[in-house]
Structures are given as structure tokens and as C-alpha cells.
């Protein structure tokens, strides 16, 4: 009897080991697993979304900052001197002045004052003090300070994002329908600002027996999609999700892989300025693939 039980146990172990190996060795499963690892690495990176702890819009003139409550811009308590300095906004130019006895770096070099933004399109410098890092961002006529804490609680406590089970049925062939002349679509962000962005066309695809379309944007060598669906506000983030798609080949087709649909930054932090899906990109179907909503965050 003991020998029989031992033999059955050995068979079960061999079966489970073979099943796990088969799953790991499946090329598509491995592709998605690798994508998920990279996605997590990007979220936790120094320029990721998990370490954001503040977004402060600058007023014209002097904007004092520090951890003291009497500043116009109050950084988190205990992270910086109470009176650290000032951001002085004049039009589209922002100048930093640093208080005596305070050390602040600009791209790694200690400074007492510096122009940290002058309205151009080059990448703004990174400023730092202790565990804090910050940059200037611009959204239309608004200019602000985006603050990061390299030891933020969200970053330290992050345990991943829930996802729908991987399903190859959500890997769908699509055709890019290009407009006959340059075309633009309106993209609104959570600040209520609207911008017109050029689109290379619509990705047309079929789910079941029905045809759908998503307006695309260009992002380097890929197409960028902002979409909502009938899971939005239920199992997924209320304001939609993002998706990157390879540009079509010579035949005009590509693959939309909804298993790689991911949350916008606003699903993780209140200090991002996410674009929202244009009305035509809100699909009347439930896309049960990709990332689910994260934590308690809801649409602004």
C-alpha cells in the first residue's frame, strides 16, 4: 500500500512538473510574462509612476518651497528643509533660488540659483535634495513642479497589478485605415485641457461577428491607443487604459494584443496628468484582458 501511494505521489509530481514546464516553455506565455516583468520594472524605475508624491502648479512671481507650512509649495514633512528656496516664474521661464545652508542639485551639481525651465522643448533638468527628485512639467499654459520621493510608501509597498488571465483570443489582427489627407483627433486630459493630435488612421478589427475601430496616435516606432470599454469603472480603471501596437507591415495589417493593455499613470497616483480616451475609442464591448484597476484609485 505504501509503495502504491509513493508511486502515485511520484506520478503526480512528474505530471505537475511537466505541466509547469509546458506553461513556461509556451512562447506566447513567455512573451507576456516578459512584458509584465518589464512593465513592473518601468513602474518602479526612478522615472516611473510609483514614486510621485506631489504636483505643484506655479503662480507668476515667487513660489517659496520647503517642508514648512508657510511656503506656497509645501513638500512632504521631514524630506527637506523647512525653507528650501523659491521657484520664480516669469512667463514661461522658471528660476530656482536656494536658501542659505540648503543643498540642492541640478543634474547632480550643487547650485545656489539656476534657470530650470525656459519654455523650450528640451528635457528639463532633474533637481534633487536628499531622497527627493523633481522636474518642471508644462501642460498648455500651466507650468508646475513634479515631485518624486525615491522612498515613497507606494513604491515600497507595491506588490504588482492584478490582470485578467492571458487569452490568445484577445490577440487580434487589425487593419490600419489611413485618411486620404492629414487628420487630427481631439484628446482631453484630466485637467480639462484639450489638444489636437495628428492620427495616422483607425485600426479596424473584429471581435466575434462585430467590427470595431480605434483611432491611433503615433509614438516613435509604434502606434499608441487610448481606449475605454465596458469593463471601465468596474474591473478596470474608470478612465480607460493604454495600448501600444506595432506599426502595420506592407500589407497594412498589425496585431492588437489586448493582453498588453495597461493602466494609465493616474491609476497609481493623483499627481499625473493623463489623457482620456476620445469618445470614438470607448468600445461597446468588454475587453477582459490586460491590467485590472489598481488599488482604490478612481477617475479624477
Q: Which 3 state secondary structure label does DSSP give 100?
A: coil
pTM comes to 0.86
Question: In sequence order, what E strands does 11-72 have?
Answer: 52-57, 61-66
Average pLDDT over residues 143-162: 95
pLDDT at 57: 98
pLDDT at 11: 45
Average pLDDT over residues 274-290: 98
User: What's the CATH fold of domain 52-156?
Assistant: Tumour Suppressor Smad4 (2.60.200)
Average pLDDT over residues 145-153: 96
pLDDT at 25: 60
Domain extent listing, the chain: 52-156, 168-281
Highest mean pLDDT among 24-33, 83-92, 290-299: 83-92
d(CA 101, CA 112): 10
d(CA 300, CA 291): 19
CB atoms within 10 A of CB 280: 13
Q: DSSP characters for 218-237?
A: EETTEEEEEEB-TTBTTTB-
pLDDT at 299: 38
Confidence of residue 19 (pLDDT cuts 50, 70, 90): very low
Amino acid at each position: 500500500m505504501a509503495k502504491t501511494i509513493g508511486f502515485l505521489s511520484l506520478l503526480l509530481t512528474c505530471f505537475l512538473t511537466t505541466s509547469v514546464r509546458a506553461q513556461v516553455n509556451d512562447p506566447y506565455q513567455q512573451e507576456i510574462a516578459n512584458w509584465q516583468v518589464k512593465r513592473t520594472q518601468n513602474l518602479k524605475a526612478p522615472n516611473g509612476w510609483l514614486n510621485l508624491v506631489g504636483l505643484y502648479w506655479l503662480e507668476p512671481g515667487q513660489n517659496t518651497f520647503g517642508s514648512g507650512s508657510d511656503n506656497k509649495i509645501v513638500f512632504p514633512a521631514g524630506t527637506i528643509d523647512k525653507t528650501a528656496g523659491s521657484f520664480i516664474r516669469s512667463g514661461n521661464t522658471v528660476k530656482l533660488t536656494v536658501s542659505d545652508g540648503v543643498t540642492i542639485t541640478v543634474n547632480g551639481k550643487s547650485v545656489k540659483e539656476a534657470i530650470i525651465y525656459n519654455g523650450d522643448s528640451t528635457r528639463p533638468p532633474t533637481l534633487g535634495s536628499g531622497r527627493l527628485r523633481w522636474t518642471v512639467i508644462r501642460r498648455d499654459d500651466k507650468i508646475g513642479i513634479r515631485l518624486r520621493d525615491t522612498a515613497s510608501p507606494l513604491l515600497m509597498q507595491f506588490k504588482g497589478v492584478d490582470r485578467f488571465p492571458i487569452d490568445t483570443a484577445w490577440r487580434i489582427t487589425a487593419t490600419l485605415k489611413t485618411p486620404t489627407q492629414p487628420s487630427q483627433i481631439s484628446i482631453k486630459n484630466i485637467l480639462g485641457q484639450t489638444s489636437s493630435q495628428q492620427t495616422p488612421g483607425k485600426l479596424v478589427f473584429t471581435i466575434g461577428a462585430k467590427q470595431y475601430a480605434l483611432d491611433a496616435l503615433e509614438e516613435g516606432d509604434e502606434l499608441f491607443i487610448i481606449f475605454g470599454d465596458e469593463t471601465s469603472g468596474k474591473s478596470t480603471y474608470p478612465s480607460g487604459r493604454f495600448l501600444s501596437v506595432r506599426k502595420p507591415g506592407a500589407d497594412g495589417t498589425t496585431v492588437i494584443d489586448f493582453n498588453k493593455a495597461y493602466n494609465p499613470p493616474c491609476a497609481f497616483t493623483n499627481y499625473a496628468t493623463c489623457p482620456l480616451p476620445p469618445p470614438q475609442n470607448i468600445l461597446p464591448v468588454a475587453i477582459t484582458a490586460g491590467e485590472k484597476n489598481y488599488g482604490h484609485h478612481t477617475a479624477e
